[in-house]
């Protein structure tokens, strides 16, 4: 009688556990279904409105940028149309036009804006609109500024973790990297003890800030040519 009770109790426990697992799975399934339905409703309610704008620049052949796609891998001339999706009524997008010799213009649009968009750029006096010819890699030379290499040792772990700069290794790496780059006949190192004895790029904050602000894709479209003459003294760069 006692053995039979134990067997019945074991079966009951097994059934209860199985039922509990099934209940948990069912509950989880219901929650997952509800979550999916909720996400679908959110997505459907936030599809927004897609508008197609007829974009033109004055003058033509300017570089057209969209604020949400500021970084591009290649120049894009002003297109005939641009599709923009506005997720909410308050959404706005900015079109920016750039061209050498002109002040960039910006036009901000929303879902209610007219379809025709014209960006008009004002001329900059004294700045030529002529672009330099495409470089000839077999004839033209590139001047390489002194390389400023910082070699750092990573030592220790945890609370003993630290970094130490090795000036000797830094100089050695800079020399080796310079030799590797100047192995290309089109690259000439602008570095001699007489010309650039104490020049370090990373110690010139204004120069570093300017260099990092430039995007090579936009070099022919910046309002003014990108030059470093005003940021490097004549004593260091002849």
For residue 211, give both structure tokens. 């260099």
Structural domain contains residue 108: yes
Instruction: Give the residue from 123, 129, 126, 66 showing the smallest Cα distance to 96.
Output: 66
pLDDT at 223: 94
Structural domain contains residue 10: no
Structural domain contains residue 60: yes
Structural domain contains residue 86: yes
Structural domain contains residue 162: no
User: Do residues 102 and 224 make contact, with C-beta atoms less than 8 angstroms apart?
Assistant: no
pLDDT at 153: 93
pTM, entire model: 0.60
Q: What are phi and psi of 96, to 5 degrees?
A: -125, 130
Domain range enclosing 105: 49-123
Q: pLDDT at residue 138 above 50?
A: yes
**How many folded domains does the chain comprise?**
1
> CATH no. for residue 82?
2.60.40
- Across 6-20, 66-80, 109-123, 145-159, the highest mean pLDDT is recorded for 109-123
Structural domain contains residue 113: yes
Structural domain contains residue 95: yes
Structural domain contains residue 131: no
């Amino acid at each position: 009688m006692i053995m039979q009770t134990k067997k019945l109790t074991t079966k009951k426990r097994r059934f209860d556990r199985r039922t509990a697992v099934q209940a948990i799975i069912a509950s989880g399934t219901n929650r997952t279904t509800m979550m999916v339905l909720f996400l679908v409703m959110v997505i459907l309610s936030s599809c927004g409105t897609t508008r197609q704008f007829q974009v033109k620049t004055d003058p033509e052949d300017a570089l057209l940028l969209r604020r949400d796609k500021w970084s591009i891998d290649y120049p894009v001339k002003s297109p005939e149309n641009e599709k923009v999706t506005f997720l909410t009524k308050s959404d706005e997008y900015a079109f920016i036009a750039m061209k050498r010799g002109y002040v960039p213009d910006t036009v901000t649009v929303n879902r209610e804006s007219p379809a025709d968009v014209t960006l008009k750029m004002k001329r900059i006096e004294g700045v030529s609109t002529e672009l330099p010819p495409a470089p000839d890699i077999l004839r033209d030379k590139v001047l390489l500024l002194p390389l400023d290499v910082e070699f750092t040792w990573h030592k220790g772990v945890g609370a003993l973790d630290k970094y130490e700069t090795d000036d000797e290794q830094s100089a050695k790496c800079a020399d080796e990297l310079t030799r590797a780059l100047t192995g290309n006949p089109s690259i000439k190192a602008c570095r001699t003890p007489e010309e650039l004895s104490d020049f370090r790029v990373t110690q010139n904050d204004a120069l570093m800030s300017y260099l990092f602000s430039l995007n090579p894709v936009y070099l022919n479209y910046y309002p003014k040519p990108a030059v470093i003459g005003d940021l490097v003294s004549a004593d260091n760069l002849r």
